[in-house]
Amino acid sequence: MDKITVAIWKDGDTQNAHRETFAEHGGYLDIDSAASSLGCDASEVNSCGIGEMSAYGVSFADDPFQAFAGLAA
């Protein structure tokens, strides 16, 4: 089964994104679970594909090089 990995982050915290993985077919991003892992309300959860991270200015918390602010700023 193929998997999709997306970046998730809470509002205003684009440099501490987490990875969330789910099944490509029939899977979905569980917003409540994402909010729990980010320590925020579900309405504060943002997500994008891995290939879109530079456009949004999002970096994973463990990235040694942090992205410049983009669309998410």
Side chain identity at 62, as an amino acid letter? D
| The token pair that represents 53 in the structure block | 């991270």
Number of domains forming the structure of the chain:
1
For residue 69, tell me if it sits in a domain. Answer: no
What is the rounded CA–CA span in Å between residue 27 and residue 33? 14
Residue 45 and residue 34 in contact, taking contact as beta carbons nearer than 8 Å = yes
Domain that holds residue 11: 3-56
Report the predicted TM-score, pTM, of the whole model to 2 decimal places. Answer: 0.83
For residue 71, tell me if it sits in a domain. Answer: no
For residue 26, tell me if it sits in a domain. Answer: yes
For residue 62, tell me if it sits in a domain. Answer: no
Top mean-pLDDT range of 21-25, 55-59, 63-67: 55-59
What is the rounded CA–CA span in Å between residue 53 and residue 3? 18
For residue 34, tell me if it sits in a domain. Answer: yes
For residue 67, tell me if it sits in a domain. Answer: no
What is the rounded CA–CA span in Å between residue 2 and residue 11? 29
For residue 15, tell me if it sits in a domain. Answer: yes
What is the rounded CA–CA span in Å between residue 65 and residue 39? 23
The per-residue pLDDT for range 3-37, each reduced to its tens digit, is: 889 999 999 999 999 999 988 777 888 999 999 99
